[in-house]
Structure 1
Amino acid sequence: MYDDSDHDSTTTSHHGDEMTVTVDGEQYEVEEEYDIDKDGHNDTAIIQTDDGGAVAFTDADGDGDADVAVELDDHGNVVGAARYDEASGEWHAVDPKTGQETGGGSHGSTTASSHNDDHTTSSSSSSSGSAHGEEIHVDVPDQKEDMNVGQATVDTDHDGKNDTVVDTTDDGTVMAYTDTDGDGEADRVTIIETDGDVIIGEHTGEDEWTDVETGHVDSHGNYTPDSTPSHKS
């Protein structure tokens, strides 16, 4: 499962077109780094949040403006979704599985606008200059030395201590390394690939990682778990 061949904590993210995200009347330009519908054109930007989660903004109709927002927790699970209404200028809550409005009214204060202050792309989240936590090392199969991925920048368990490093590889893949027990070693890796596929792996022994969940984000921005595998690598 684990492959560090593309890892570079100083590498900028894969370049794509820009899209405009409107939140509470404010417009932000973000870089589209992921091709969710696999049509050969990037249409999605992922913004990392301080709690270890992320929001994926997708331009579903190709007009240069974000239409769909999907909120992921620190495990890559979908916890909310919203669709932008150009007429009202507001985000409305939708069911992540069906895309239908949930009847909750404006969703601007949750999935979209609650991350207004966290306006940072995945590539900037990996900057060592903003790190405040302990350094995290990753046990890489077939390598004598553990790989230092940098200082933790996000606190996923909300205990007041940063425990996760978020990094972007050369091809735009987002990788989050989490130290769950505070020993300085990564215990979980969450991978969000450029085509929307998600892989979550756990460290289960020396030079051994086990895939515990896989899933994908479809063309409508909805996350669907594929399976709960027990594949070791």
Structure 2
Amino acid sequence: MGQGYFVTGTDTGIGKTTVSCALLRALAAQGHKVIGMKPIAAGVENGKWHDVEQLLAASNVNVTRQQINPYAFDPPISPHLAAQQAGREIDLAVIQQAYQTLSAQADRVVVEGVGGFLVPVNQHQTGADLARALNLPVILVVGMRLGCLNHALLAAQAIKIAGLTLAGWVANCIDPQMLAVAENIATLQQRLDGSLLGVVLFDSEMDLQESARLLDLVTL
């Protein structure tokens, strides 16, 4: 049974997919069989869920879209609302079973969450319940922009309350105009329990191999 990681973020649109794919590339470069999983996807564009496509492309084990993505919804809205509109309900047991199947085929499974850590996934459960159901160490993607200190510390607190381990975090420099980036990163290094795994630079031309080389996975 392979080791897994649950990737969450300080917000939606914060770079979880970029970091998840970079993690997959870095782990594959270490010789591991890797699979990226997106249990819940919300937001289709031109007939495709691009997060799912990117994770599939970054995996080096032959799996299908349906295997890595049990729930896919068209509108880019909170998953519990998207499921309601589709007349469905997200069942964490279905996701658990899908993860177990993938984990049996790979050395490492990188599970990308949906939205932020506490986003509702059904009427009673959140992304925290999903991470807890899979019982995986968490990697937090911190979008480096004004307000990120509060967002990161709140997310870390929620991860701790859920009884999960913050295995590490990645600083994703999404705002090229942000002031005092290094100082903000240093502040988070002092206050977050998990290790800084790397700083992903804001560069629309940077490919995943380059991003993967920016990550230090020694502590994972």
- The structure whose residues are more often strand, as a share, is 1
- For the pair shown, the structure with the greater C-alpha radius of gyration is 1
Q: Which has the higher helix share?
A: 2
TM-score (norm 1): 0.29
TM-score by length of 2: 0.30
Higher RCO, 1 vs 2 (CA within 8 Å, ≥6 residues apart):
2
